[in-house]
Amino acid sequence: MLTRIDHIGIACFDLDKTVEFYRATYGFEVFHTEVNEEQGVREAMLKINETSDGGASYLQLLEPTREDSAVGKWLAKNGEGVHHIAFGTADVDGESEAIRGKGVRVLYDQPRTGSMGSRITFLHPKDCHGVLTELVTAAPPASTDH
């Protein structure tokens, strides 16, 4: 079951400048930053709110670290803007298989590691009315046991 909008991914040419825009304009602060070498992006997650299922909703700002990355190619073709929408689920494996069974192409055979240690996969935009769609299972909370 899809439980929430996990994040909206926004492709940008200059991550720092884009973060500053969202901070100055809307008051959103950076919750997390990382470089995902596999995806070829530097990203910032701006938390918008907490959700009733223990997750949160974010804006994910994405700057390519190389031109041949998916986001780099997308930016070259489309310019800055909304890149994808991501829905949260407790079971990305099961959800992606169920959606695949409905005839939607799932882009990864097995989910991969995404932002903040999450498990992710993408659905083909041609099967989703032109929208690149991501499915996300958030990483379990860090243990506080010592």
Residue whose C-alpha is closest to residue 16's, from 41, 42, 52, 48: 42
Catalytic annotation present for 7: yes
Catalytic annotation present for 84: yes
Catalytic annotation present for 20: no
Catalytic annotation present for 63: no
Token digits for 143?
């243990």
Q: Which of 39, 63, 83, 84 is catalytic?
A: 84
Q: How many residues does the chain have?
A: 146
Catalytic annotation present for 38: no
Q: Which of 60, 63, 83, 95 is catalytic?
A: 60
- Over the range 95-123, which residues count as b (16 or more CB within 10 Å of their CB) and which as e? bbeebeeeeeebeeeebbebbeebbbbbb
Q: Which of 39, 63, 95, 134 is catalytic?
A: 134
Active site residues: 7, 43, 60, 84, 134
